[in-house]
Amino acid sequence: MEEKFLETVAETMEVEVSEISMETAYKEYEPWDSMMMMNLIMDLEEAFEVSIPIEKVSNVKTLRDLFDIVKG
């Protein structure tokens, strides 16, 4: 599941999977800003058939945090 998650994130951010990791930090990684966060949420919801509550997104600091929300 982690591999698919990282592949989806990389595709959305238009970067190579090797450029990101589960420890990639929100707003510290240039391509990952607030607009990208919204794109990520939409793409992850579609890819994993989940609904991501917007209130949980405010606590996201790394891709691992976002992954934990996706996997439930």
**pLDDT recorded at residue 67:** 98
pLDDT tens digit sequence for 7-17: 999 999 999 99
The runs of H, that is alpha helices, within 14-62 are: 34-48, 54-57
**pLDDT recorded at residue 28:** 92
Kindly report the CATH number assigned to the domain that includes residue 21. Answer: 1.10.1200.10
pTM score, whole prediction: 0.92
* Domain extent at residue 35: 2-71
pLDDT tens digit sequence for 22-63: 999 998 999 899 999 999 999 999 999 999 998 999 999 999
**What is the number of structural domains in the chain?**
1
CB atoms within 10 A of CB 25: 13
**pLDDT recorded at residue 27:** 86
